[in-house]
Every structure is written in C-alpha cells, then in structure tokens.
Structure 1
Amino acid sequence: MERSAGYLTLLGLLLGLATTLPNKDDWDIYSFHINSTVTSRYATTVITSRVANRMDESKEIEFHVRIPKSAFISKFRMFMDGEVYDGVVKAKEQAVRQYTEAVSRGQSAGIVSSVGRTLEEFKTSVTVAAHKKVTFELTYEELLKRRLGKYELQIHARPMQPVTDFKVDVNINEDAGINFIDIKGGLSTKDLANAITKTETAKQAWIYFYPTVDQQKVCDSCSDNGLNGDLVIFYDVKRDASFGDLVTKDGYFVHHFAPSELPRIPKNVVFVIDQSGSMHGRKMQQTRVALIHILADLAEDDFFGLITFDSDIFHWKRELVQATQKNIDQAKKFAENIQDRGSTDINKAVLEGSRMLNAHPREDSASILILLTDGDPTSGETNPERIQANVRKAIAGKFPLYCLGFGFDVNFEFLEKMSLQNNGLARRIYEDSDANLQLQGFYEEVATPLLTDVTMMYIGGTNLTQTNFSQYYNGSEIVVAGMITDNDIESFVPEVVALSRNSRVTFSNPNATTGTASVDRIQRVWAYLTVKQLMEKELQLSGPEKEKVEKEAMDLSLKYSFVTPLTSMVVTKPPGEDSAVLNKPKEGGSTLPSEPDVGSSVDSSVSSAPPTQRFLLRPANVSLPLCFDLSATNVKLLHQTSRGLNINGEINPEENGGFRSIVINAQSDLSIEVKTTGVTVKEGQTSTHYSSPTQITAGSVTVIIRDKDIDVSFGDVRLVILGHEISGRKFLWPVFRQLPLDNQAAGVLVANLDYEEGAASTIKVKGQEVTVSRSSAVDYSVPTPVTVDCWLLSAQEAFQRPSSDLYN
C-alpha cells in the first residue's frame, strides 16, 4: 500500500563504506575510455579509468561503473607502480574462503549489485600513494538480444567528475550488412549531440563520443560532477535469406535465425490481471491504461479472454471471444472499472486462464497466457512448488506462460521458474511513471507470432545450445550455437522446421559463411549462451540433477572467466591492501547464494555495546535516500495502541546483522514470534511451533509460512518477513506491504516525515538544516539485496527527537 514520503526500510551496511565514501575531490580522473567492439551481435566492452592522486598523502581511490545486467564481467585489472593486479574468477566457495581470510584482517569488499532496470553497479577501491597513479580496466561481454526489430547496445558513462580525456569508441562489424543504426539516450541530446560522430560502410559502423570538459557538465543528467547517463545504440542487420545468418569457424558455429517475410499467425491470448489490495493506486491505474491500449491493438482474427483476480476470479467473459470492435469496446469498459481489493490467489487465476485456452483449440493459431501480478500467493493454494506443479500440469506444454512481476515486492524467482517451466519468460515491470509503457512494450514483443513448434536441426553438430522453441515472434531472433563434429564442414547440415500459418515449413541454407568473427569470439558466444541457458535449467531442477547442471555451468564459467551467479572474481590488490570479491547479482532471487558477507566482519568477538543497525528514509524531495544508525537490541517497528498492536524486532549481535527475531503482539492474549528456525504462536496458555510451509489462522491474524519468507496479515496491515542467508549466517528482514490506513501508528518503519534538499551536503528536517555525509548500504528489504548510496545523518537529527524513543 502506498503511503506518503518518509517510510523507512531497513538496510544492511556495506563493510568498508560505512563512513563517508572516498572523497573524489582528492583525485583526478585524467583519462576515461570506453571501447566497445560488436562482432556478429556479440559485444566486448572495455572500460579504462586512469586516476592520479594529486595530494601530498595517500588516498583511497574508487573505481565505480555501471554495466548491463545481461553482461558477464570477464576481466578486471589494476596497474600501479609498474605492477599488474589481475582479478581471478573462482568457484564461489573458493572465493568465499579467500574473502573470509581478507576480512578477518579488517579488509573490505568490492561488489557488483543491481541498479534499476537494465544496469548493474560495480565498485572497488585501492589506496594510492601521494602523487602516484592507478589504472583500472574492466571488461564485460554480452550477446545483444533482438527485440522489436533491433539490437540495443547500452553504454553508461558515470566517471563522477569531468574528465579531460574522455572517449567512447564503438565499432560494429556485421557480415550480414547493417540495415540501420540510431543513437539515442540521455548523452545524445541537445548540447552533447555534436560530440558524437558516426561513420558507416555496408558492413561496419563506428561511433565516437568525445565530449569536452564543458560539455560534460551540461547534459540533462549532468552537473559539476560530470556525465551521468546512457549512450544507447540501436541497429539491425540486413536479412536477405529466410534461413538467417550462419557463421562457422574452426569447428564452432553460431546461427542467427530471424525470418520476417512470413504471414502472421492469429493468436488466442488470455490476460490474467491481479487486482488484489497491493495493486492499489498508481499500479492499478497504469495497468488499466496499458490493458486498454493492448486490447486496441488486437487483430480481428485474434481471440482473447480477460480475467481479474484477488481471492476470487472475475470474468469479463467465461470463454474466449473474437477481437471484433464490439467485443474490444466492451472489454475496455471492463478494464476501466477494475478495482483493487482482497488477497491474492495466483493458483486459481492461472489455472482458470489455462482452462480458457485449453477449451478453445484452433488450428493454425498460437495460444499465449499472460499473468500480471505484484505479490505473493496469499490465499487458496499458497505453496509455490504446488502452484508451479498445478500450472505445469494444466498447460502441458501446449502454450507459453509469460509472467510480469510488478515492482520489487513480487516473488520474482517463483514467477521466473513458473514461466520457464512453461516455455515462457518472466519480466519485471518497474514502478516508474512509464510502467504502462513497459507493459505495452512487452505485449508488442509477443503480439505477432510468425512460427510455432520451431525445431533447429544441425546434422553433424554437437554440444548445441537450445534448439526447440515454442514460438517465434516478429522482430525477435533465435540464436543457436554449437560445435561441428570433427570440424567436418562438408557433413554439417543445418535445417529449421516449424509450423507457419497454413503449413509446415522448412528453412535450409547450404552456404554457411566463415565471416570475420574469430574462433575465440564464436566460442565465447557458445559459452555465453550455454551458461545462460544452464542457469535457467538449474532453476527448474532439484537434487542430483540440479547439482549436475550447476557444476556444468560453473565449469564453463571458470573456463571462460565469466562472473556468473555461480562464480566470483577475487580482486587481488597490493600487499596490505583490501582484497575484494565480485559477485553477479541474480534478478529477483529470494536469497543471496552462499557468498562473501558484505554486511559484517568475520571477527566474532562480541562487544558489550548494543548492536548497530542501519535504517533508510526515502523522502520524495531529496535526490538520495537518507540513512541513519541505531545502536539498540530491541527496536519498535510498529506500535498502534488504538488496536493493541505492537511489532518489535531484536537485532542480531553482529553489526548490521539484520534481525534475530520479530515479535508481534496482536491482542492481549496473542503473541507471534518469528525466528529463522520457524514461527511460535502463543494463544493464552497454548504455545505451538511451526517450521514447515503452512497457513495459520489465530484470532484476526493470518500467517503464511513459505520456504523463504513469512507473510503476516491482520486487518489493513500486511507484513512480509524475508529470510536471508549469507556465509551461513541467517537473519530476518521485515517489510510492510500494507500499512495502517490511519496515521496513529508509530515506530521505525512507519515514520511520516517531510524533508527538503538544502545546500550542498545539507538536508532540511522540519525546517532545521542538518549536515549530512555520503555513505552506502545494502538494502535487505528486497528478496535480492541491492546496494544504494545515501546521505548519512544521526537518528536524532532524522526524527528531531531522542533516538531512545525508537527503542523498545
């Protein structure tokens, strides 16, 4: 439930960054180069930052960049005093051991974390002697994905200060030929447009972005701190043959298949829309707007269904109907009147959508099921594994399921697994002003099916990536890579068989090309695709099969030095300097894998002082979140005396160690205590402990225990308690999904305060000017923790009252 600005979210502290970040004014980034080379849609990008310490004393110098989420870091190096310090990719467990040895000596962690929709943030630092220099060099790789008829190469520039020698060089090589190329993004507009040079030939393109120091201060998102924005390059290749582009080299091949001159296949589509209470406000409004636009885009030979759900199901029509103008107009009126209410029965809703499609078989058509939800299952069947099994049985491989997860509160891993099990995919919809456009954009990607039951066959091929695809959509692309047995190109016969609108079709091409891509580049495309697909497969498995696939993915990641969710890069630094471990975040994961603990030292000595925990404020009128520390054992999370509701949290003894327990007193004789080991419910003199997934009703309180979180609802309040585990340390994290409707509640998580941006490094709190410093923390209030920057102030300054008022 949305409330006004100022609600608090608990955050873990990133070790080594608890104090003010290194002061960038103490060093000079005198050179910052980004060089990206794209060959046959595979991009290798190198970021090189050269920095000088101009001070008369040693300074900590930071390297801080953002890279695409789809990319794998493959190399990181530092050059200092004639020495080269290389990052080494290791199995995550090995990296943990090396990291643990480092932090036991008080050293700090580098980290890669998710930032926004499309980027991940990488940062590390090193101490540089007076008047000395350091060079940072980071390499990452990605296979560009074709969406809506174009590839997208995103380059983010954020050097943190204007740079005298700033250059972005992009070279695109496509043997198939370049059809068009466009340059967009915040760094391509207005005053920066003339800093861009573009040169094209039939098969190559060069883009140079060389802004002056003055130009680096004037873009829409720029300031005296320099550039902070994207340069986005869109392009597509020429497609003379329906078979696509097949490149072979020294025993490897890559096949790009994207035929376009095909008749569209009529579709049967059912939209399953969450209208539970958590969709209140802008989410529901944006969903209505998007749905109305999507309905208007249906073709007349399409059939469609529309259902909404909370704890019940609401049909527009109980069966699919043709997309005539009359039916579309009626469906739009239904969409306009969707109202949020109730809880969330995902199981019942998706099964009903499946029933509607199964009841409407139609030759020469393609069926699609689209689920939009922002929450976890909270009514009906709530066990994710049983829901996934039910849905898989209902769909039975007959059509794909696409799951759109609205916001960061959604259990994305649950949706992702359910989609992959049913030949679809999951996509996160971000809670921004353009969420309705995100929804429409996704629909456009699947709006025009051209082929179904696509089988990619390669006689004489081995170690192939995925070769079977349920549907192929206009504007997309299927990519398959593999090896040619014994490098016998004469016996290598590729062929594609699929169903078109009216017939079975076969695509073949006896004229495979060698192209300009090196064998190393083709091998890396194969390895990149294989690792990505193994990680998707691993998500769907359990037991020995899961372990086998994990090992295969990890071995390949190690061989090609990819930083993946199964590997880490250990960054070696000069003797006496901080080691660092880089981990790739997993989109939407419920918990972090066993990896270096970025929240606490491994020193287990216990101080007599109360533990310290960092909290975050998110005011609407401040550019960065605010954060403050509380030193306490028990903290008031929410107190509402009018209904006798008290929720308190016991902080772990480790600094920034999360919560050891959460205690909910909902009425005079009802107490619910949540620990990492389970839930204890006390009603009067009766006490019952639960440790496995189940649903409990006690008085007016409903508790749903899942494998990785616990959902507690009472009236207009809903609390989700996330479980995290890092380096074997388990802890809890409370997150309110719905807050009391009145303003009588108090506590750390329900502050309703107004803030304003002041002068440099100041914030106005109730009109009082407060000095703040730059800091950073890890947000554990989401299933996959993310690192955020924040302005640090004291709790007393944040609340304008003694911090002891927040202790229980």
Structure 2
Amino acid sequence: MNKHLLWAIVAICAIGGTLGIAPLLNSSQTTDTSSFTFDMSYQSVSSKQTPTRVASYGQVEQGSFFLQEDPSADFVMSPLLDTAVDIKVTGLIARAKVTQTFTNPTDQWLNGTYVFPLPENAAVDQLTMHIGERVIKATIEPKQKAKKMFQQAKLAGKKASLLQQSRPNLFTNEVANIGPNETIKVTIEYQQLVHFEQDKFTLRFPTTITERYLPLKPLPEQHIELNDSGWAVSQPSYSQTNNNQQPESAKEEITAPKHKVALNISLNPGFKLQQISSDVHPITQSEHAKNQYLVRLTESMIANQDFVLTLQAAPSSAPSAAHFSEVTEHGHYGLIMLMPPTQDMANNTLPREVIFVIDTSGSMAGGSMEQAKQALQLAINDLSENDSFNIVQFDSSATKMSLMPLMATVNNKQMAARYIEQLEADGGTEMLAALKLALATPSADLSKLRQVIFITDGAVGNELQLFDFIDKNLKQSRLFTVGIGAAPNSYFMTEAALMGKGTYTYVNSLQTVQNKMQQLFSKLNSPVLANLKINLPQSADIYPRNLPDLYQGEPLLISYFSDEPLTELQATGELNTHFWQQPLKLTSSAAQSGLATLWARRKIAQLERDKNLGRLAEGAEQLNENIDQLILSIAIQHHIVSSMTSLVAIDVTPTAKQKSLESKVHNLRPKGQLSGNLPQTATPAKLQMLFAILLLSFALCIKLLRKQR
C-alpha cells in the first residue's frame, strides 16, 4: 500500500477516535456509570456527607440537585434525599400528598429547580414549605404575579418555593436560598379521578419523564411553549444533557445514593375488593376495617418506572351506577358514574378495518420496543377472518406495510409477523406523518368499523399540532392509544384517545402485555355505544362536554355543577345502530369532598382543548384571551395550579448571607430506555455523522491515489 495512503488512513482513524466514531459504530454500548445504592425511608440521610462530583448531567440518571461553582469545574451533586407519597382513595377520588426533601451539601447558598411528573388529570391545590419548625403555606396567584413574587423573595435572600405547571402532566418546583448543609421539605397536594373499567380501578403515580421530541421544522403556528427545564426543546439542547461518555476517573466518583420513593395508600372504595395488585412493584396489603385497606411498597421504589395499582371489585359488589355530591357556598357539585348495558356479544361482533400504528423511533429502544412488537403481534393474531388490517410504522418518516388493507387470512397474518419481527427502534418521532397515513387515507370498506390502534410512548412535544390534525381528520375512524414503556406521555395518550372517541391503555412491562392487550381486544370486539347524550331536567355545567363512545365494561363518568341539586338524568345513544336509553334517579347520593376541585380541573381541561384547537384558526387571539381569563378565574376560585396560575410560598425572614447559585434537578431515565451520546428521540444523527465521515475518508483516499498516479 502506498505510504501516503497508509498515513491518510491512520490519520482518519485518529480523527475518528477523537470524534467518537467507535461508539457510533455500536450505539448499543454505553459507558458503565456505576449504579447508585439507596436505602430509602422517610428519614433523610445525613446532609454532612461529602458532596459527589460528576462531569456531566448525563452521567447521572436520578433526581438530583446540580451546582456548578465554576464553568470549567465539575458539577456538585446533592441527592434529592427522599420522596414520600401518601394517597387516600375514597370512592372514585384519590387525594395525594407528595413530600420532597431538598438538601444542600455544599458550603454555598443554593437555588434549586426540580422538574417532576404528576397524573395528567391531577388538580394540584396545595403547597407547604417546611423550614425547621416553620411551616409556610402557599397561596394561589396569577402565574406572572407569582413568578414576580418568587423572584423578589429570591433576590431578597428569603426562602421561597414556586410551583408551576409546564404541561398538564409536568410541573416545576423552584426552591430559593437553601443554606449550606440545610434541608427544606416541600409538600405538594393534589387529587385525581381514579380510572374505572371492567370492574377494575387503576391508580397510577408517575415517577419519571420520557424526553419529548420536536420535529426539526415545527410549524410556526404551533405555539409550543419552551421552558428552561430541558423539555420540549430541539435536539441540540438534549445532546448536552444525554452525554454519557465520561472519563474513567469520573465514573469512579459516582457513589451517591439513588433516588427512591416511599409510598403508602389508604383505600376506602365503598365496597368489597376481591384483589389488590401491582404488576411491577411488590406491595403488602391489609384490611384494617370493613372494605377499607392499607397498601404499602414491600421495598423502596426506584424512581424510574410509573407505579400502577389495580383494584378488582368483588363480583357481588361491582357497581353499575354511582352518584357522589358536594355542596359548597358556590352551589352543588357532583360526579355520576353510569355503566353501559351488558349483552351477549357472540352474535354482535362487527367486521372491522383495523389500522395498527407502531412507533419505531429512538425513544422506543430497549424494553419499550419489545413490548410494542409483542403487543402488535397479539393484536394481529386476534383479528377475525372478516376483519381487514394494515400496519403503519414511523420514526423519522412513516411507511405502510401494504398499499391497501389486507384481509386477516392465515397467510397475511404470517406475512405481518415477519414484518413485525424486523422492526427496529431508531430515528426521530415524526408522529404527524403516521397520523396522515392512518387517518387521512379513506376507508377501504365503509361498511366496516374503522379502528386505529396507536402503539407508542408518545415522546413528542408538538401535541397541539397533532391534536389539531386528529380533530380535523378523524371522520368515522376511532383512535385507541396504547402507552408503552416505563414513562409514556400519558397526557398526549389520554387526550388523543378522547378526541378520537377511543380509550387509552397503559402497558408497563413485558409481563403485562398479553393481559392488557387481550382486555383491549375484547373491548374492541364489543358493540359500541355511540352518539351519547345526557338530558337533564335543569341547567347544569357538565364535563366532559364531548361524550366518548363506550364499550362493554366502560363507565360514563360525568362531573357537574348546578345551582340546584339534580334529581334525575337520562342517557341516550345508539347501540349497534339501535336507539338506547337509560334513566337514573339522583335523589340518593354519597357525600364526597373534592368534587368541586375535580369539576374545576375537568372544566379547565376542556377550556384548554378549546384554546389549543383555536390557536391554529385565523383570528383566534381574542378567543384565547377570553379563555385565559376564564381559566384564571376558575383556578383562583378553586385554588388550583393551571396554565394561568401558580402556587407560591415565601418566608418573611431573609436568611441568605450571600447570592445563591442556580442548580437543576433531573429525573431518573425511564427504565428500559437506552442512553448514548445523542438522545434516543432524535433523528438518526449518529448514522448520518458516520456516513459523512466515511464519505470524507473515501474522498481523501481517492485524492491521494490520483496524486500518486
């Protein structure tokens, strides 16, 4: 070999090593960043421990404070010592207290920011800050005013806490002026509606967040709100926080404890439970009174996977209807549950055209992709010979398995199995392209019930653009979302299914895929109760406003406000194209606190939907302004955090002796989500970079050969 060519190749290899070609060639290999060990309890670890130093945010995958005293120095990491969760379930309402302990192990005054998830239907209404023996209760304020109050307190050296809603299921808690070796406790309270279906209650507590992907060229009218928490930003910003390639010396320094969660749940559903279970986290349970139960984690929960508790009603006490009420100075609030009819489904199944959409983007890499492929294969196998189907897979682009839907024959199912087997996770999350193939394509057979089953982790930041497309292109299709992985974007999943008149199913482990998907298929084969309407004898403000289709085992849940108590209602709809009606007397009800807050949260959610869909319409500015004022009024009246309000707690006594430094708190990466130099939700930049380097190398070699000749 010519010596000039040889030296060129050696130089290219050296450059490749500097640029990180080796890890690009095998993206499945990641640097071993020593796992943390953590003894989690309600008692905090001593804050006198030696601070741990790390070279990068990406080196740590847990909720922690980060402080960088000098731009050229390593980060000082202070563990979020504990998160204690206490939840009380009464009827269909869950009331939760989340206590987070922040400790500053440095000799500097510190400001901290903690970004954390809550259920998408949570109504956050209380914040309390504990500083030693002092307890400071937060007040609800308009968002800008609360931010100004917090900033003034921070500059004045006062301890303060500010709780803001970044998204309906993502909140930010800023804590100001934590002194050297000082600990501050912040307690957040919220309530939510417990999900009920097929005689089962489901309670979910999220612990971490999948990073959100945004298209490289988002439409200017999306109005996506970017924030400094690291979410819903473009790929270059992610790459700085996901860099896991660290020197060996840095790896050896990681000895800090791992963030875990302690969780206690008190259950008082009002009737006997047959079974209490958790698919992923081991629990202990006891019945301390008639139909009242206590549930605890057997061991501390690592904060990298959502906790899900399932409650099975005893067959003899499974409810078919319920009415709960609350009277306040403003009027009468209530919650109504009504079950659809139960029928023999043997002769009532309808032929279907089913479009399966599967997310193969980078954020699905690892366990999520295996769950998704298994779920999709189960779905194909469940189709009857009268059904037709197609598969849409998407990452940086979207493609269909077949130009037209295929009949569910044995041969076509086998072909689909081979197609599913070769699917791999990589690239971006261009969900709009997939929705266009699934919804915008006309139905091949109008006599069939068209169902779109969307299997994804929902790791996107352009939800508004997607909601607008679904709203305009759904037509006669029904959209069902299946959330995959440790921490799917439940807000997107729930809203998309609601707009699509379908339902959201959460699959949290490989062990639960078959059970959860079989439940979904059984439901989809049941007759649909469509075009629902609620008739009331007097005026009332009810939510949801647009009632969904119902399948067997799914209840209709309505929150209402009325000046006078309601006495009856009548539900009507179409069952297999036949008229159906169900009257319900409301003269009897059980007293239930929190219904006013629940109604306010659901009303605000509907107002946000109206605003989001109106944002893309011409001349919507005045409409949005009016909606914002209405959201502000409702949130202030009911003391809840919203897009227009925040909770702020301020200590009256200045304590900081010097200017506090800024820090961040990051969440643990969801379980099963792979890590690497670039974000898994990004475009295939690794592959593109490798191609570019190889082409450059090839061109250089050609040039040297020509010179030699």
Name the TM tier (shorter chain): 0.5 to 0.7
- Local SS of the residue matching 1:564: coil
Q: Is the 8 A contact 1:456 1:468 kept in 2?
A: no
Residue 235 of structure 1 and its aligned partner are, at CA, apart by 1.8
Cα distance in 2, alignment partners of residues 470 and 621 from structure 1: 33
Cα distance in 1, alignment partners of residues 687 and 535 from structure 2: 51
Cα distance in 1, alignment partners of residues 449 and 403 from structure 2: 20
- Pick aligned residue for 2:202 from 152, 175, 183: 152
* Cα distance change, pair 736–72 in 1 and its aligned pair in 2 (3 A): farther
Counting only pairs closer than 5 Å after superposition, residues 183-198 of structure 1 correspond to structure 2 as: 183-184=277-278, 188-189=282-283, 193=284, 196-198=285-287
Counting only pairs closer than 5 Å after superposition, residues 739-754 of structure 1 correspond to structure 2 as: 740-741=689-690
Residue 232 of structure 1 and its aligned partner are, at CA, apart by 5.2
- Local SS of the residue matching 2:450: strand
Q: Is the 8 A contact 2:161 2:174 kept in 1?
A: yes
* Cα distance change, pair 179–270 in 1 and its aligned pair in 2 (3 A): same
- Pick aligned residue for 1:43 from 94, 102, 108: 94
- Local SS of the residue matching 1:533: helix
Cα distance in 1, alignment partners of residues 201 and 281 from structure 2: 18
- Pick aligned residue for 1:395 from 470, 474, 479: 474
- Local SS of the residue matching 1:469: coil
Correspondence for 1:89: 140
* Cα distance change, pair 333–355 in 1 and its aligned pair in 2 (3 A): same
Structure 1 residue 304 corresponds to structure 2 residue 389? yes
Residue 505 of structure 1 and its aligned partner are, at CA, apart by 1.2
Correspondence for 1:172: 267
Structure 1 residue 235 corresponds to structure 2 residue 311? yes
* Cα distance change, pair 445–577 in 1 and its aligned pair in 2 (3 A): farther
Correspondence for 2:44: none
Cα distance in 2, alignment partners of residues 171 and 621 from structure 1: 27
Cα distance in 1, alignment partners of residues 459 and 318 from structure 2: 46
Cα distance in 1, alignment partners of residues 108 and 661 from structure 2: 26
Residue 273 of structure 1 and its aligned partner are, at CA, apart by 4.1
- Local SS of the residue matching 1:304: strand
The one-character-per-residue Cα deviations of 1:576-605 (angstroms, maximum 9, x if unpaired) are 147xxxxxxxxxxxxxxxxxxx9969xxxx
Structure 1 residue 98 corresponds to structure 2 residue 47? no
Q: Is the 8 A contact 2:65 2:112 kept in 1?
A: no
Relative contact order, CA 8 A, sep 6+: which one is greater? 2
- Local SS of the residue matching 1:75: strand
- Pick aligned residue for 1:293 from 345, 353, 378: 378
Correspondence for 2:126: 75
Correspondence for 1:255: 336
* Cα distance change, pair 253–97 in 1 and its aligned pair in 2 (3 A): same
Residue 306 of structure 1 and its aligned partner are, at CA, apart by 3.0
Q: Is the 8 A contact 2:64 2:666 kept in 1?
A: no
Structure 1 residue 318 corresponds to structure 2 residue 404? yes
Correspondence for 1:199: 288
Residue 619 of structure 1 and its aligned partner are, at CA, apart by 12
Counting only pairs closer than 5 Å after superposition, residues 103-114 of structure 1 correspond to structure 2 as: 103-105=154-156, 110=161
The one-character-per-residue Cα deviations of 1:368-417 (angstroms, maximum 9, x if unpaired) are 2234578999xxxxx99998766655433x22334668899999999988
- Local SS of the residue matching 1:473: coil
* Cα distance change, pair 63–550 in 1 and its aligned pair in 2 (3 A): closer
Cα distance in 2, alignment partners of residues 481 and 341 from structure 1: 42
Cα distance in 1, alignment partners of residues 207 and 397 from structure 2: 46
* Cα distance change, pair 126–446 in 1 and its aligned pair in 2 (3 A): farther
The one-character-per-residue Cα deviations of 1:306-329 (angstroms, maximum 9, x if unpaired) are 3446757444361353x4555434
Q: Is the 8 A contact 1:10 1:615 kept in 2?
A: no
Correspondence for 2:645: 567
Counting only pairs closer than 5 Å after superposition, residues 575-586 of structure 1 correspond to structure 2 as: 575-577=653-655
Cα distance in 1, alignment partners of residues 307 and 65 from structure 2: 32
Cα distance in 2, alignment partners of residues 138 and 616 from structure 1: 18
Q: Is the 8 A contact 2:165 2:641 kept in 1?
A: no
- Local SS of the residue matching 1:471: coil
Larger fraction in strand: 1
* Cα distance change, pair 207–548 in 1 and its aligned pair in 2 (3 A): same
Q: Is the 8 A contact 1:178 1:235 kept in 2?
A: no
* Cα distance change, pair 545–359 in 1 and its aligned pair in 2 (3 A): farther
Residue 480 of structure 1 and its aligned partner are, at CA, apart by 0.7
Correspondence for 1:532: 605
The one-character-per-residue Cα deviations of 1:197-253 (angstroms, maximum 9, x if unpaired) are 33352xx31316498xxxxxxx3758xxxx999875422457979862123444322
- Pick aligned residue for 1:500 from 570, 575, 597: 575
The one-character-per-residue Cα deviations of 1:7-48 (angstroms, maximum 9, x if unpaired) are 9888999998446455889xxx9xx97543322211112356
- Pick aligned residue for 1:331 from 397, 406, 416: 416
Task: For 1:554, give the aligned amino acid.
Answer: L
- Pick aligned residue for 1:138 from 168, 178, 188: 188
Q: Is the 8 A contact 1:36 1:44 kept in 2?
A: yes
Identity %: 16
- Pick aligned residue for 2:592 from 510, 517, 520: 517
The one-character-per-residue Cα deviations of 1:133-156 (angstroms, maximum 9, x if unpaired) are 987543221111225642233569
* Cα distance change, pair 145–277 in 1 and its aligned pair in 2 (3 A): closer
Q: Is the 8 A contact 1:73 1:140 kept in 2?
A: yes
The one-character-per-residue Cα deviations of 1:751-772 (angstroms, maximum 9, x if unpaired) are xxxxxxxxxxxxxxxxxxxxxx
- Local SS of the residue matching 2:580: strand
Q: Which runs of 5+ in 1 are unaligned?
A: 212-218, 378-382, 579-597, 602-613, 627-636, 639-716, 721-734, 746-808
Task: For 1:395, give the aligned amino acid.
Answer: L
TM-score by length of 1: 0.55
Q: Is the 8 A contact 1:268 1:357 kept in 2?
A: no
Task: For 1:741, give the aligned amino acid.
Answer: L
- Backbone CA RMSD of aligned residues: 6.0
Task: For 1:318, give the aligned amino acid.
Answer: M
Task: For 2:524, give the aligned amino acid.
Answer: A
Q: How many residues align?
A: 566
* Cα distance change, pair 620–533 in 1 and its aligned pair in 2 (3 A): closer
Structure 1 residue 556 corresponds to structure 2 residue 603? no
Cα distance in 2, alignment partners of residues 295 and 278 from structure 1: 24
The one-character-per-residue Cα deviations of 1:495-537 (angstroms, maximum 9, x if unpaired) are 111222362211112254221324xx22222123222333333
Q: Is the 8 A contact 1:181 1:233 kept in 2?
A: no
* Cα distance change, pair 389–245 in 1 and its aligned pair in 2 (3 A): closer
Residue 570 of structure 1 and its aligned partner are, at CA, apart by 1.0
TM-score by length of 2: 0.61
Task: For 1:499, give the aligned amino acid.
Answer: E
Cα distance in 1, alignment partners of residues 114 and 155 from structure 2: 25
Task: For 2:450, give the aligned amino acid.
Answer: S
Q: Which runs of 5+ in 2 are unaligned?
A: 1-23, 33-55, 70-75, 209-255, 695-709
* Cα distance change, pair 344–77 in 1 and its aligned pair in 2 (3 A): closer
- Pick aligned residue for 1:245 from 322, 338, 362: 322
Q: Is the 8 A contact 2:117 2:207 kept in 1?
A: no
Q: Which moved more, 1:34-43 or 1:59-68?
A: 59-68
* Cα distance change, pair 496–570 in 1 and its aligned pair in 2 (3 A): same
